[in-house]
Chains A and B, each alone.
Chain A
Amino acid sequence: MTVTFLILLLLVFAAAGFFLGRGRALAAAQGDARRLHSLPNYYGWYGAIMAFLPALAVLTIWVVAQPIFIERQISGIFPVEQFAVEADRILLMADIRRVALGIDSAVAAGALSAADAIALNVESDDVRARLSEVGVALGSAVTAEVLQAAQRYRELAGTGALFRSIFTILVAVLALAYAIKITHSAMRARNRVEMVVLGVLMLASTVAILTTIGIVLSMLSETYRFSTMYPFGDFLFGLTWSPTFQGNSQLGLLPLLWGTIYITLVAMLVAVPTGLFTAIYLAEYASPRVRSVVKPLIEVIAGIPTVVFGLFALVTVGPFLREWIAEPTGLGTSGSSVMTAGIVIGILNVPFISSLADDIMNAVPQSLRDGSYGLGATKSETVRQVILPAALPGIVGAILLAASRAIGETMIVTMGAGASAKLDLNPFEAMTTITVKIVSQLTGDLEFNSAETLVAFALGMTLFMITLGLNVFALWVVRRYREQYE
């Protein structure tokens, strides 16, 4: 029985558990739902959950544990001395798994009978050729040991699958039986179901946290590997970025960091005033009709894929800036520049700031506006001195969110600012950012064992630290300046 089929079976059990639990509870109350502690459906849900969850947990553990167990068994076939390096053992195990799965799929496709499959041997059959007939390609010829191990693998996997099915179904039936047994009219089914719901909610919130921890750990380990191959001080303070794939690369962070900061700065200079003024207009001045048209239109910008913005930067903004500003003032001859990318990223971020800030300003209570107008303040005085200070923490949050996006933006920079890592003050020069270089260091057919590729992880770590710092700063600002209003 495959895992998918088992899960489907468990769902059937759950459905049965629902009706059994509900029926049992109603029967215990002589069909009068008012005598039950909880609504009848809660007893049903309790039955369904008991039929499904414990068995699913068993199945999950089994699916994770079985391959580990089998590999340990099979490793016994090979002498320990054979594995000088851990990587060799992993490779061999992968080979064995492929052969075993290959034979399985050959049997499934009808190219081999089940008896033939067991009788396969290296001397009389070209295992590699026979498997390639059914579409399983093997890297090298199959040795006798590998074939033997593969057969053993199949055997263990087959037994494992059988016991897996039996055990899972047994747990499902037992748990369901227990649920039915303890179901009576006074059982607090509602509270039990609520506890399961609480568990699901907590699990969901853990996923994001665990993922973040996982990302940080994997980046840290790769960054550590990078630091063993390339002096970390040179990475942090190097002024030149020129990776070559023959070695002797200079992997200085500063030109990329400067490009990132410069482009983000330009982007924020465009996005913050535009977004904030838009928000003030929408929240305080615009009539409801104008607002209902303008706000969705601005938010459309947020839905445009960034690669389309990149095209806009490449064919419209870049040439425009070059012909009308850079060339006449003699500042540069390149269409790709910090200005191009910065302006376009800024426009991209306008709806984030305007939309969030607008919502925040709308959340400022009307009573504060009335209070200010009642003292004879004009609209703009009210906005400047009452609304904006009250909405400040939220607005800072919106701005820092936009800044994080600008720092992480890749596509627009690739197409708008070019790819040359430079330390330059001229905003009409082509420059590049950390994100672009992460992509370019990892593009192509590479192995993750040189400083040139591993530097991508160090760059990623740097980026992560910058955005983390921004977020912590944002939290601090929000806490420090939060204005309490009812």
Chain B
Amino acid sequence: MDDQLMTERRVDAHEIKITARGVQVYYGEKHALKDVDVDILANTVTAFIGPSGCGKSTFLRCLNRMNDTVAIARVEGDIRIDGEDIYDSRVDPVQLRAKVGMVFQKPNPFPKSIYDNVAYGPKIHGLARTKADLDRIVEESLRKAALWNEVKDRLKESGTGLSGGQQQRLCIARAVATGPEILLMDEPCSALDPIATAQVEELIDELREKFSVVIVTHSMQQAARVSQRTAFFHLGNLVEYGNTSKIFTNPDDPRTESYITGRIG
């Protein structure tokens, strides 16, 4: 626990990366997210927990404007990354998503080679000037995703032929390759077995060095293991947000306590 407190104290010193104020999301008639205020810190793993349908994934998808691809979704409020309003009409959601990478619930490698999967983002954003440049980005990304040693001899093979855990790390490498500052992860381990989960969790902790990581998870143990800050969502409201150790040992809100002790969920 002391270790945890140590890292948290260091975390508190970090600057604020994302500021959300009064965020409302509607899916058609449904009011999915109500008046959410959050500050997310740089170089920190922030976990969103809560029962299904509580709005945690919805909020995550606001942070890279993925809700734009859903025709009936409407987002209100103010979300700033490094002080810049990402819903401003001058912001191109396509550019934004290169800066805010995303990893999805189910591993979704493209039906292309491992190399092309990782090179996809750098290619469309023109990040590599030469073939050697691209090779370097692919290798670095795969290394960051702790996958390089397993796949370096078969980069030309299809990404869909990897195991589930490898596929998810490939998706992480793919997201890392565009050089994002923030990495959003939507239940990244829910389709993985315990060993693959452990590998991905370890990776998440390493990624904190370079990125702000926001992770949505159903597993409270996972939130406790990997995150420094935790936000608890319930019925579209942000109930409580604070240091992970505080949320899990001494929550302020009775709803948080009920959820953590398994009485609601």
Residues of A within 8 A of B (CB): 287, 365, 367-378, 381, 385-386, 389-390, 483-486
Contacts and interface: CB of A to CB of B under 8 A. Distances in A.
Interface string B104-139: 101011111000000011001100000000000000
Interface stretch (B10-18, B27-35, B89-97, B245-253): B89-97
Contacts of B64: 374
B124 A377 contact: yes
Contacts of A386: 110
A377 B175 CA distance: 12
B73 interface: no
B188 interface: no
Interface residues of B, number: 31
Contacts of A484: 111, 158, 160-161
A371 B94 contact: no
B56 interface: no
B66 A373 contact: yes
A315 to B, nearest CB: 44
Contact of A287 (B69, B71, B97, B158): B71
B101 interface: yes
Contacts of A373: 66, 69, 97
Given A376-B121, A376-B178, A385-B120, A371 B160 contact: no
B229 interface: no
Interface of B: 64, 66, 69, 71, 94-99, 101-104, 106, 108-112, 120-121, 124-125, 158, 160-161, 171, 174-175, 178
Given A374-B97, A484-B158, A389 B124 contact: no
Is chain A's interface secondary structure helix, strand, loop, or mixed overall? helix
A258 to B, nearest CB: 39
A375 B110 CA distance: 12
A374 B102 contact: yes
Contacts of A372: 110, 120
A378 B94 contact: yes
Given A372-B110, A389-B111, A484-B111, A377 B104 contact: no
A375 B108 contact: no
A121 B54 CA distance: 100
Contact of B104 (A370, A378, A389, A483): A370
Given A375-B121, A377-B124, A483 B160 contact: yes
Given A367-B106, A376-B125, 10 more contacts: A365-B108, A367-B104, A370-B66, A373-B66, A374-B101, A374-B175, A376-B124, A378-B124, A483-B160, A485-B111
B124 A381 contact: yes
A381 to B, nearest CB: 5
A45 B108 CA distance: 49
A375 B66 contact: no
A372 B97 CA distance: 10
Nearest to B122: A375
Residue of A368, A369, A376, A486 with most chain B CB atoms under a 10 A cut-off: A376
Residue of A371, A373, A390, A483 with most chain B CB atoms under a 10 A cut-off: A371
B9 to A, nearest CB: 33
20 contacts: A370-B102, A370-B104, A371-B109, A371-B110, A371-B171, A373-B66, A374-B103, A374-B104, A375-B98, A375-B101, A375-B121, A376-B178, A377-B94, A381-B124, A385-B120, A385-B124, A390-B110, A483-B111, A484-B111, A484-B160
